[in-house]
């Protein structure tokens, strides 16, 4: 009975995988073939049929959102609660382990997590403290170096310097580690590295987890890096059954240290693993699947597979040659309106792009058209400056040793504490090996500063002390509320005029809501609600997924779209230099990774795929002319809508002017339908200047795009 429920909705190959005897498995299969589904059903099978307790299961997914979805699906198949099952991301699970074993891991109980922006600031401080020239040793480069070392599991003393420059990088790495330790903070890479080291060095704990985890399951395995693989292996005891699920054609994080070779490594390390292939695709139409297959065939050295579908051929892929990025955005908006009219809900539609910066223009067009949307990844809520300021206050109040937080807010809002004062505090801290906060207290005691600076500093100390006192007896959301007001942040941002300041205040107020919601969900026993909330905020800001799921358009980078599916997908910015990205164009290996990224994008679409490119695009502050992406020409012509043959800017944008109020000047605005005596009907796609000098770009239905003096046009 239970068997049937779990196996019913699976094809024979999937059933074999789900009901395989207890042991290792490697599922290697293409996009949309049901890998994630198999992994989810396998967990239910282990619990219901193999009688393994949820407590004994460890499952690793790529995002928190995927983890939550998986848990819900598993729960619907189980007769027992799945609360004690561990499902999460590498980072989330590591965090859990380190919170439980902070002492054994050599951490302070209230350790906090540096996100990548904080990490950058910390590294910059370290570079300055070492008296190195920031131009010669850019902090960004050092950050990249440090993270790359950590991803390979190397501590400073384990790195082999290649040259003098390398030696200095190691020195920075070392000093950065010391600074982190002094402040009681760790970075994202540390989460994994420290967990791994903990298990390596502590036989008792290792045994504990080996006994606990009888089954280990990993989704999206093709994107694991060296340290993640080592992490996984260290959790796998001799009696543990491992299921690895992946697709070599979807490996898209090589630039962040992911190793496709881990797939071969796994087969070698676990030779008894049964290899299972799934070839039927359930996600996409025949047309989309053929396009994806043709595209990925251009890559060499694949493990090779042949995906097919029983589904319909479906609609052709629509290709749109936009004149510029605005035109592209309005094309997308317009099609979305059509879809809405045909009763598609918005959440069925995703707009994908290669680079984060592309979202702005699309967001603007959506906003002006009143279409709700959500940006996944990129600069999200917890990454916004005002939120980081508020969190820094909370962090310093929670733990005065948090130097990064200290630096961020000592003069935010401005309170007359100058750079020279801060440098003096930094130097004293460094010389005495103490935290910035302690250094400040000591210097004040010694009357080190002149009267003005001293009184400003005193005000800061009092502010922090007062906030600490004031909030101690309150609930988390009240604490947050006190701090955003008491810190002066709200008043500070009130000074920022217009929409922007208002948005920031709304964002700050939203933090109180976030704290409230967080409290409702309960916090772990061994943490204060504030510590737990701060860790959550740091982890959230690294997670590429948004939590709410309103009915809105989903915007995201191609990287973020991995593992997801949408009935309708717009793949925008398909231009050479943008996609493939200019940094990858001349390196065959990187180019293949770009192609896999395109494969990931194409295979997100279930029923309809649009691909768009712009002939002119403003990038890095100037207009650039790019050819259409080579990936477009790798898709067989017969799968693509005839729009492809009208690339010479003869395709009209079909925009309904009444639907939005974009950039406008007088009676003209972008998106407006106009008529010209000679050129005929068209749509405004850009406006420059105003009054008599106003020029407009119009895409005419018959003659393509022209730039004209506005007064020659009639509004339709
Ligand atoms: P990706 O490589 O993109 O991560 P995947 O291999 O993990 O894809 P899933 O997301 O598990 O694929 O499945 C793709 C879609 O096909 C889902 O909507 C899933 O529910 C559906 N599906 C999978 N197997 C079957 C099946 N046997 N019958 C019906 N639908 C299925
Ligand atoms: Mg999947």
How confident is the model at residue 399, as a pLDDT?
92
Q: Is residue 36 annotated as part of the catalytic site, yes or no? A: yes
How confident is the model at residue 579, as a pLDDT?
94
Closest atom of ligand 1 to 278 CA is 6
What's the CA-to-centroid distance between 61 and ligand 2, angstroms?
Answer: 9
Gap between the Cα atoms of 260 and 210, Å rounded: 26
Nearest ligand atom owner, CA of 562? 1
Which one from 15, 35, 348, 608 is the annotated catalytic residue? 35
Nearest ligand atom owner, CA of 309? 1
The size of the chain, in residues, is 716
How confident is the model at residue 164, as a pLDDT?
81
The CATH homologous superfamily for domain 383-520 is PCRA; domain 4 (1.10.486.10)
CATH number of this structure's domain 662-715, picked from the four choices 2.30.30, 1.10.20, 1.10.760, 1.10.357: 2.30.30
The residue among 688, 696, 693, 689 whose CA lies nearest residue 715 is 696
How confident is the model at residue 621, as a pLDDT?
56
Gap between the Cα atoms of 616 and 323, Å rounded: 6
Task: Report whether 307 contacts 653 (CB < 8 A).
Answer: no
Q: Where are the domains of the chain?
A: 2-101+193-280, 113-183, 317-379+545-642, 383-520, 662-715
Q: Would you state the structure tokens that stand for residue 535, as one six-digit string?
A: 């860790």
How confident is the model at residue 663, as a pLDDT?
40
Q: What are phi and psi of 449, to 5 degrees?
A: -95, 155
What totals of helices (H) and strands (E) does the chain contain, helices first? 26, 23
Question: In a 3-state reduction of DSSP, which class is residue 370?
Answer: coil
H or E segment to which residue 553 belongs: strand 553-557
The whole-model pTM stands at 0.75
Gap between the Cα atoms of 607 and 285, Å rounded: 6
What's the CA-to-centroid distance between 35 and ligand 2, angstroms?
Answer: 5
Q: Would you state the structure tokens that stand for residue 159, as one six-digit string?
A: 């790195």
Taking CA atoms only, the protein residue closest to ligand 1 atom 11 is 34
**Which of 19, 36, 38, 61 for a ligand 1 pocket mutation test, highest count of atoms within 8 Å of Cβ?**
36
Q: What is the CATH number of domain 2-101+193-280?
A: 3.40.50.300
**Domains 2-101+193-280 and 383-520 fall in the same CATH topology:** no
Q: Is residue 220 annotated as part of the catalytic site, yes or no? A: yes
Q: What is the CATH number of domain 317-379+545-642?
A: 3.40.50.300
Cis peptide before 413 (omega within 30 of 0): yes
What's the CA-to-centroid distance between 520 and ligand 2, angstroms?
Answer: 31
How confident is the model at residue 644, as a pLDDT?
39
What are the angstrom distances between the C-alpha of 501 and each of 470, 482, 508?
27, 20, 11
The residue among 188, 176, 202 whose CA lies nearest residue 94 is 188
Q: What is the CATH number of domain 113-183?
A: 1.10.10.160
CA angle 299, 301, 307 (to 5 degrees): 65
Task: Report whether 710 contacts 699 (CB < 8 A).
Answer: no
Q: What are phi and psi of 607, to 5 degrees?
A: -115, -35
Chain center to CA of 288: 26
Residues of the chain with pLDDT under 70: 1-2, 357, 377-383, 497-500, 502-503, 517, 520-525, 540-550, 619-622, 642-666, 689-693, 702-703
CB under 8 Å to 617, separation ≥6 — which residues? 324, 325, 573, 575, 578, 623, 624, 626
What's the CA-to-centroid distance between 565 and ligand 1, angstroms?
Answer: 9
Q: Is the CB of 41 under 6 A from ligand 1?
A: no
């Amino acid at each position: 009975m239970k068997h049937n429920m779990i196996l019913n909705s699976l094809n024979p190959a999937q059933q074999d995988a789900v009901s395989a005897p207890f042991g290792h498995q490697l599922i290697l299969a293409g996009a949309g073939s049901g890998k994630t589904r198999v992994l989810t059903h396998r967990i239910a099978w282990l619990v219901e049929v193999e009688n393994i307790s949820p407590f004994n299961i460890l499952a690793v997914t790529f995002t928190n959102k995927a983890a939550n979805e998986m848990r819900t699906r598993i729960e619907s198949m189980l007769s027992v609660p799945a609360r004690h099952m561990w499902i999460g991301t590498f980072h989330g699970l590591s965090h859990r382990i380190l919170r439980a074993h902070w002492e054994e891991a050599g951490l302070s109980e209230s350790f906090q997590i540096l996100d990548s922006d904080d990490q950058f600031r910390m590294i910059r401080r370290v570079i300055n403290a070492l008296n190195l020239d920031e131009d010669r040793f850019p902090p960004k480069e050092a950050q990249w170096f440090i993270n790359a070392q950590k991803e390979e599991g190397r501590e400073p003393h384990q790195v082999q310097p290649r040259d003098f420059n390398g030696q200095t990088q190691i020195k920075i790495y070392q000093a950065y580690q010391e600074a982190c330790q002094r402040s009681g903070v760790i970075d994202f890479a540390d989460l994994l590295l420290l967990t791994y080291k903990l298990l390596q060095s502590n036989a008792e704990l290792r045994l504990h987890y080996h006994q606990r985890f009888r089954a280990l399951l990993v989704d999206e395995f093709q994107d694991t890096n060296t340290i993640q693989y080592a992490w996984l292996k260290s959790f796998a005891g001799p009696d543990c059954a491992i299921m690895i699920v992946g697709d070599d054609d979807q490996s898209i994080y090589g630039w962040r240290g992911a190793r496709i070779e881990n797939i071969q490594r796994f087969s070698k390390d676990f030779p008894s693993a049964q290899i299972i292939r799934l070839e039927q695709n359930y996600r996409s139409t025949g047309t989309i699947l053929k396009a994806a297959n043709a595209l990925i065939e251009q890559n060499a050295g694949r493990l090779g597979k042949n995906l097919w579908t029983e589904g319909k051929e479906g609609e052709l892929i629509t290709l749109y040659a936009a004149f510029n990025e605005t035109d592209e955005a309005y094309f997308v908006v317009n099609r979305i309106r059509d879809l809405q009219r045909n009763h598609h809900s918005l959440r069925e539609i995703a707009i994908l792009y290669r680079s984060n910066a592309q979202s702005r223009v699309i967001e603007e067009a959506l906003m002006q058209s009143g279409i709700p949307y959500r940006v996944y990844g990129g600069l999200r809520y917890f990454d916004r400056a005002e939120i980081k300021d508020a969190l820094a206050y909370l962090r310093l109040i929670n733990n005065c040793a948090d130097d990064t937080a200290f630096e961020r807010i000592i003069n935010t809002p401005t309170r007359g504490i100058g750079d020279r004062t801060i440098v003096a505090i930094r130097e004293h801290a460094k010389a005495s090996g103490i935290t910035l906060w302690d250094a400040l207290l000591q210097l004040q005691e010694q009357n080190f500063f002149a009267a003005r600076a001293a009184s400003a500093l005193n005000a800061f100390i009092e502010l922090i002390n007062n906030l600490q006192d004031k909030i101690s007896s309150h609930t988390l959301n009240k604490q947050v509320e006190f701090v955003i007001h008491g810190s002066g942040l709200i008043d500070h941002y009130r000074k920022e005029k217009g929409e922007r300041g208002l948005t920031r205040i709304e964002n700050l107020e939203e933090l109180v809501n976030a704290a409230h919601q967080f409290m409702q969900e309960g916090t772990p026993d061994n943490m204060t609600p504030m510590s737990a909330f701060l860790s959550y905020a740091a982890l959230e800001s690294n997670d590429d997924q948004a939590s709410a799921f309103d009915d809105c358009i989903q915007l995201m980078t191609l990287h973020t779209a991995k593992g997801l599916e949408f009935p309708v997908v717009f793949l925008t910015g398909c231009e050479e230099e943008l996609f493939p990205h200019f940094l990858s164009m001349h390196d065959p290996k990187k180019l293949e990774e770009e192609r896999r990224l395109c494969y990931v994008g194409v295979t997100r679409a279930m029923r309809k795929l649009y691909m768009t490119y712009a002939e002119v695009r403003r990038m890095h502050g100037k207009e650039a002319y790019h050819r259409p992406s080579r990936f477009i020409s790798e898709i067989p012509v017969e799968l693509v809508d005839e729009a492809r043959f009208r690339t010479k800017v003869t395709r009209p944008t079909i925009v309904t002017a009444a639907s939005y109020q974009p950039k406008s000047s007088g009676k003209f605005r972008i998106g407006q339908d106009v008529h010209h005596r000679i050129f005929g009907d068209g749509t405004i796609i850009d406006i420059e200047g105003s009054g008599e000098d106003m020029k407009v770009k119009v895409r005419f239905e018959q003659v393509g795009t022209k730039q004209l003096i506005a007064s020659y046009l009639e509004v339709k």
